A and B are shown apart, each in its own frame.
Chain A
Amino acid sequence: GESVGLHLPTLSVQEGDNSIINCAYSNSASDYFIWYKQESGKGPQFIIDIRSNMDKRQGQRVTVLLNKTVKHLSLQIAATQPGDSAVYFCAENGLKGGADGLTFGKGTHLIIQP
């Protein structure tokens, strides 16, 4: 079946650098995508979302890019800080347009080097 996946399981960046976390999805029917951050021992926390009628959306220090042509989603974090260390999940709204929950990727562990 179709699923959401991630290119890299672990990403290590220097503090202050920009981070880019990638996600590939294969469900062309998905029209809503979310990035979540999960710190150790906690539940996933919403970062930013984007709908399929948009290519880019910016938040505070974060930007999500959506390329529907190649079914690719990315999360950019500017000026990475130690508090950004976490596992990041992309999620899509699944085959039924959202009513059946989200389909999550496996996650990317972002490690911040001092």
Chain B
Amino acid sequence: DAGITQSPRYKITETGRQVTLMCHQTWSHSYMFWYRQDLGHGLRLIYYSAAADITDKGEVPDGYVVSRSKTENFPLTLESATRSQTSVYFCASSSGGNNEQFFGPGTRLTVL
């Protein structure tokens, strides 16, 4: 049982480039989430999705785009990366909006 996976685990890119972080879950959870984790800010919600083709903004959505064409995948795209987007990104999923969330291992992104 693979659970929830993220790829790549580490990524270095340059300012202005487009970057896509992948998230895949094998539980058929309806809800999926993207968080970023920074020192001093803890975990902050970027975007979430309640089901395929349904997405909504979280606390810090600017500069990010998401899609959910399939239930199991929830990619996060930085259309034009900025240094302020250097962070650790976590994907999570849950069976309901008010249920426990399961987190992936994270992607450490560095924007030079």
Contacts and interface: CB of A to CB of B under 8 A. Distances in A.
Interface of A: 31-32, 34, 36, 41-46, 49, 89, 91, 93, 97-107
B40 to A, nearest CB: 8
Given A42-B105, A42-B106, A89-B43, A100 B48 contact: yes
Contacts of B40: 106
Contacts of B45: 100-103
Contacts of A101: 33, 35, 45, 48, 58, 92, 101
A67 to B, nearest CB: 21
B74 interface: no
5 contacts: A34-B101, A43-B106, A89-B43, A97-B97, A100-B97
A32 B99 CA distance: 8
Contact of A44 (B31, B43, B48): B43
Interface in B21-36: 31, 33, 35
Interface residues of B, number: 26
Can you list the 6 inter-chain pairs with the closest CB atoms, starting with the nearest?
A: A98-B98, A43-B103, A99-B97, A101-B45, A104-B43, A98-B97
Contacts, number: 61
A89 B42 contact: yes
Contacts of A49: 100
Q: Give the interface centre of A49, A99, A100, A101 by most chain B CB atoms within 10 Å.
A: A101
A49 to B, nearest CB: 6
Contacts of B58: 100-101
A43 B48 contact: no
Interface in B50-109: 50, 56, 58, 90, 92, 96-106
Contacts of B100: 34, 46, 49
B92 to A, nearest CB: 8
B33 A46 contact: no
Nearest to A42: B105
Nearest to A32: B98
B97 A105 contact: no
Contacts of B103: 36, 43-45
B106 to A, nearest CB: 5
